A and B are shown apart, each in its own frame.
Chain A
Amino acid sequence: MRIIVCLKPVPDPKHWSQLRLDPKTKTLIRGDIPSIINPLDRKALEAALQLREREGGEVVVLSMAPPNVIPVLREALAMGADRSILLSDAAFAGSDTLATAYIISAAIRKIFPFEFVLCGDQTLDGSTGQVSAQIAEFLDIPNLMHVSAIETHPECGYRVRSQIEHGNMWVKVKPPVALSVTKEINEPRYITLMNILEGERKTIENWSSKDLLLTEPWVGLKGSPSQMAEMFIPEAKRRLEMLSGVPSEMGKRLADRLHRLGYC
């Protein structure tokens, strides 16, 4: 079995107070903020490792990122991945989710065959939560999101628990399939000191656009349908919305607001 885990290095939230917005380029200046593995991607990697423990096979970590994220890939190898591949090229910069998914799917095509593509549901920074489904679309395979459990189903398939509002769906899927995982799926293992040494013995592969067959134009900033018109840091963090009316009206309106937000 081969499981591909898509991992995104994200700036460590402990240092986000150091982020600065560049008003001209409309981008966030990241400076020297160290990167961590996106927490949900780490859970995806843990899920992959657990699958490998149950059924054998190979876990391949794939990351589309700038070249300075080697420590993050090394960490994935230390956690137990068999291979770590960095997809890096100046041409990829500025990719929106469509371009990102396209590029990653082109890389995955080079790692055929596979049974699973696992990702975290969303990242800490972009938090669009779209990439896994779009990768699946480009690969023409089924996908499920918000996965909180992956079980082996007796009739050679898999039983997957996917969260919906106020409940869970249990779904039967047959590989190859893409799954994106929620925080409830597992607690990732600790990397032990011995794991660190094992991770150092594995190599990190470097792929660029030359290594991929990119036939469609969805690459980089120019190839991204989504463009940013404006970026700004909102003034007050809280909405400070005061409800008005007599107390009984306020009570009912609050209940209505909470209902629409999904709390009742």
Chain B
Amino acid sequence: MDFKLSEREELLRKTVREFAEKEITPRMDAMEETGDFPVDLLKKMGEMGILGVIIPAEYGGNGLGNLARIIVLEELGRVCPAIPMALQVHHMCTHAINAFGSEEQKKKYLPRLAKGETMGVAAITDPSGGSDVAGMKTSAKLEGDKYILNGRKCFITNSHASDIWVVVGRTGEAGAKGLSAFIVEGNFPGAKLGRRENKVGLRGAITGELIFQNCEVPKANLLGHEGEGMNIAIRNIVETGRPGMASVGLGILNAVLEQAVRFANERVLYGKPISTLQMIQVHIAEIYSDLEIARLLTYRVGWMRDQNIRCEAESALAKQFTCEAAARSARKAIEIHGSYGIMKEYAVQRLLRDALVTIPAGGTAEVGKLAMARHAVNMFKS
């Protein structure tokens, strides 16, 4: 078992870190203010290869893989967690099309997503509840050579910056077996953008509503087969969504540790930096251990995915642990800052808000624990 990153992965980390520090840092104030994603950076991100990290080279990506993707998102998140939040959902869209799409669909949509001509969306959550995927109400009726979609998708990341939506809707019976997935373009008749949400954190990742009013989707845009929708949704979440969210949390944890330690080394009380005080050191040790554990859990999922090993429980664990750890560590970092921690000029309060948003996004902790329990319960059956 080799815990070292390869030369390729180290260089990857380095170059993305440089890109993030130079290109994203200057945009952060505006992002926090408006909640908008810097879409003009999409082209540069496309050129960097960030958007196509899990798209095979033949469709315009670089196919560096899932562990590489995690490192990319972590480094971007170290600077600004809202960015990997948006990008990880973009990757979910590319994964759904790459894993389940026909050759024509892949050729048509993946190069555009790799280049950054538009952002991608994975629209699974109905107002009826993201935790109850099988119960969704959005309908998709086949009429001639078109599917007619009706319904709404809410809490959709990248909604207002995206023209390529992977949408799951009901084509058949009630329950999981009746769901199907589609590739919907934003300009299809009947497709509309709804409200934009005003989040307390991860501002810069757009969250909003997609509305389908007799939306016409060509038959050729059915993703996979009818009835495969639940499988596509679950695999999309397990294989791409949860590790993506965990990467956002990892980015936050990195930023939290750095902010906490820098402040503790500079702030002088009783004639010495507060990093010499034991109680501060306990906080720092706990943040450090959260970061290290989260990183190991998350990288492992990336590795498992690259080896094509099933990882439902591991991926749920990485997401649930990391996002929870990000929130509690950000809280500790705020306390290390004393009263400065609750001032908007300091980054730590934003990091706490960012972490809070990651907890329900991409799957609640409760649903994650059910996934882990399912796995653990089967481990020691007689």
Which residues from chain A sit less than 8 Å from chain B, CB to CB?
A: 70-71, 74-75, 78, 190-194, 196-197, 199-200
Contacts and interface: CB of A to CB of B under 8 A. Distances in A.
Nearest to B23: A190
Given A71-B7, A74-B7, A200-B8, A191 B15 contact: yes
Contacts of A194: 49, 62
Contacts of B10: 71
- Summarize A's interface: helix, strand, loop or mixed: helix
B50 interface: yes
A200 B47 CA distance: 19
Interface in B29-57: 47-50, 52-53
Given A190-B48, A192-B47, A192-B49, A197 B62 contact: yes
Nearest to A34: B10
A219 to B, nearest CB: 30
A193 B49 contact: yes
Contacts of B15: 190-193, 196
B288 interface: no
B18 interface: yes
B174 interface: no
Q: Which 8 A-B pairs have the closest CB atoms?
A: A193-B49, A191-B15, A193-B62, A192-B49, A192-B48, A194-B62, A194-B49, A190-B19
A74 B18 contact: no
Contact of A190 (B18, B52, B62, B64): B18
25 contacts: A70-B7, A71-B7, A75-B14, A78-B11, A190-B18, A190-B19, A190-B48, A191-B11, A192-B15, A192-B48, A192-B49, A193-B12, A193-B15, A193-B48, A193-B52, A193-B62, A193-B64, A193-B68, A194-B62, A196-B8, A196-B12, A196-B64, A197-B62, A199-B11, A200-B8
Contact of A74 (B11, B47, B64, B68): B11
A161 to B, nearest CB: 25
Interface-centre pick from A74, A191, A199 (highest chain B CB count, 10 A): A191
Interface residues of B, number: 19
Contacts of A196: 8, 11-12, 15, 64
A33 to B, nearest CB: 14
A75 B19 contact: no
A74 B6 CA distance: 12
Contacts of B48: 190, 192-193
Contacts of A191: 11, 15
A199 B12 CA distance: 12
B267 to A, nearest CB: 18
B365 to A, nearest CB: 32
B121 to A, nearest CB: 23
Nearest to A193: B49
Given A193-B15, A196-B15, 15 more contacts: A71-B10, A74-B7, A75-B11, A78-B11, A190-B19, A191-B11, A192-B49, A193-B49, A193-B50, A193-B53, A193-B68, A194-B62, A196-B11, A196-B64, A200-B8
A113 B77 CA distance: 47
Nearest to B68: A193
B8 to A, nearest CB: 6
Contacts of A70: 7
B53 to A, nearest CB: 6
Contacts of A75: 11, 14
Contacts of B19: 190
A75 B14 CA distance: 10
Contacts of A74: 7, 11
A191 B50 CA distance: 11
Contacts of B53: 193
A78 B15 CA distance: 11
Nearest to B49: A193
A71 B11 contact: yes
Nearest to A190: B19
A75 B49 CA distance: 16
A192 B43 CA distance: 13
A64 B10 CA distance: 22
A74 B8 CA distance: 9
A76 B12 CA distance: 13
Contacts of B52: 193
Interface in B61-90: 62, 64, 68, 72
A191 B11 CA distance: 9
Interface-centre pick from B7, B12, B18, B50 (highest chain A CB count, 10 A): B7
Nearest to A74: B7
A197 B48 CA distance: 12
A200 B12 CA distance: 12
A36 to B, nearest CB: 8
A78 B14 CA distance: 12
B241 to A, nearest CB: 21
